[in-house]
Amino acid sequence: MIRLENVTKQFASGSNAVRDLTLEIADGLTCVLIGPSGCGKTTTLRMINRLIDPDHGRVMVDGVDTRTVDPATLRLKMGYVIQQTGLFPHMTIGGNVGTVPRLWNWDRKRIARRVDELLELVGLPPPEYRDRYPHQLSGGQRQRVGFARALAADPPILLMDEPFGAVDRITRERLQQEFISIQRSMRKTVVFVTHDIDEAVIVGDRICLLKMQAEIAQYDTPEKILTRPASEYVAEFLGRERLVRRMSVVRINPQTLDEPDGGPRTGEPRVPLSSTLTEAFAAALSSPTERAAVFDGDRYAGAFTATSLLESLRRESVEGGDNVAAGV
């Protein structure tokens, strides 16, 4: 567990980057730090691996005050991924990924095996990519290498600072999905910085939404943040597309379905009752009838229509978040 206790950092220029921040990050979850530019996200992240030391307060990792740990040793246990990847340009991809295991003095065979395993994991076939140089890769591929390098010695903690911020939207969405599926099996403790609420909702188990000087506006699950913004500030940060985003976390309310006692019409796409509204609506739109047949297991539950969509959203707001997808 990572715990920041009353942490403050003021830079010499006078800017108070982080003021009295107390934050607990549970083991095995992805905690997203999000907020406007300059609100102190990067500073907060870098205080965890001691690239920056706080002026006041302390950072505890697994109950140990990080000030008592040598920074280099501390960082061996924390993978660090940044937007600019920080790959060594004159080193091969394999050499880059093997950086931390070399520092740990692993033997060469073990490093080679680990490098190939990781390149495989991030979707870069080792025979093709291992001996290339960073400039011979696309932005998205370099980002994958940065991620593989951070994972190399299997650190329990990953710190990621806008890791997918520099790639195009399609690549970013693919990287997000890959990150989620890898994280699902690894269950690292991840602190993930972004300024993009869509990304936060997709990758986060928890979202910590910050105001300037790293003041916490809301620290909650993505579902709660989207459906129960704690303040006007949070609602505003979510923006006008909030409703659309809520569709991706709210599930179908069975009471909003049309003709529950009927049967599906021929050619209507089928979706499970556990679908989110986005999934159900996408299916409905793909049908000539603009309806999707909803099934609760084998049982036909009714037809999902545009009215079901609006009603599900509306009832969810009125009745409270029971119908919200868990662990988006």
Stretch of 36-44, 130-138, 144-152, 305-313 contacting Mg ion, by CB under 5 A: 36-44
15 versus 84: smaller Cβ distance to ligand ADP: 15
Which of ligand ADP, Mg ion, none interacts with 68 (beta carbon under 5 to 8 A by kind)? none
- The nearest distance, CB 122 to ligand ADP, in angstroms, is 25
Which of Mg ion, ligand ADP, none interacts with 39 (beta carbon under 5 to 8 A by kind)? ligand ADP
147 versus 304: smaller Cβ distance to Mg ion: 147
The one among 17, 32, 42, 74 contacting Mg ion by CB under 5 A = 42
192 versus 304: smaller Cβ distance to Mg ion: 192
Closest CA to 216 of 27, 40, 28: 40
42 versus 227: smaller Cβ distance to ligand ADP: 42
Which of Mg ion, ligand ADP, none interacts with 104 (beta carbon under 5 to 8 A by kind)? none
Closest CA to 152 of 77, 101, 105, 112: 101
- The nearest distance, CB 146 to Mg ion, in angstroms, is 16
Structure token digits, residue 319 = 């009745």
Q: Which residue is nearest to Mg ion (CB)?
A: 42
DSSP 31: E
Spatial CB neighbours of 206, under 8 Å, sequence gap ≥ 6: 25, 26, 29, 30, 31, 32, 219, 220, 221, 222
117 versus 196: smaller Cβ distance to ligand ADP: 196
Q: How far is CA 78 from the centre of its chain?
A: 17
DSSP 38: T
> Residue 182: enclosing H or E segment and its boundaries?
helix 169-186
Bridge-partner residues for 292, per DSSP? 304
- The nearest distance, CB 41 to Mg ion, in angstroms, is 5
CA angle 132, 133, 139 (to 5 degrees): 105
- The nearest distance, CB 196 to Mg ion, in angstroms, is 12
Closest CA to 164 of 141, 183, 130, 135: 141
Helices (H) and strands (E) in the chain, counts: 14, 13
17 versus 238: smaller Cβ distance to ligand ADP: 17
DSSP-based helix, strand, coil % in the chain, nearest 5:
40, 25, 35
Q: For 184, list phi and psi in degrees, rounded to 5.
A: -60, -35
17 versus 202: smaller Cβ distance to ligand ADP: 17
Applying CB under 5 A, what is the total number of residues that bind Mg ion? 2
Stretch of 10-18, 34-42, 94-102, 200-208 contacting Mg ion, by CB under 5 A: 34-42
52 versus 301: smaller Cβ distance to ligand ADP: 52
- The nearest distance, CB 235 to ligand ADP, in angstroms, is 20
Stretch of 39-47, 181-189, 242-250, 307-315 contacting Mg ion, by CB under 5 A: 39-47
- The nearest distance, CB 53 to ligand ADP, in angstroms, is 12
Residue 154, classed as helix, strand or coil, is coil
- The nearest distance, CB 199 to ligand ADP, in angstroms, is 15
> Residue 119: enclosing H or E segment and its boundaries?
helix 108-121
Contact between 44 and Mg ion per CB under 5 A: no
- Write out the residues near ligand ADP by the rule CB under 6 A: 11, 13, 15, 17, 37-43
- The nearest distance, CB 78 to Mg ion, in angstroms, is 17
Strands ordered across the beta sheet of 30-34: 78-82, 157-161, 189-194, 30-34, 206-211, 215-220
Q: Return residues touching Mg ion (CB under 5 A).
A: 41-42
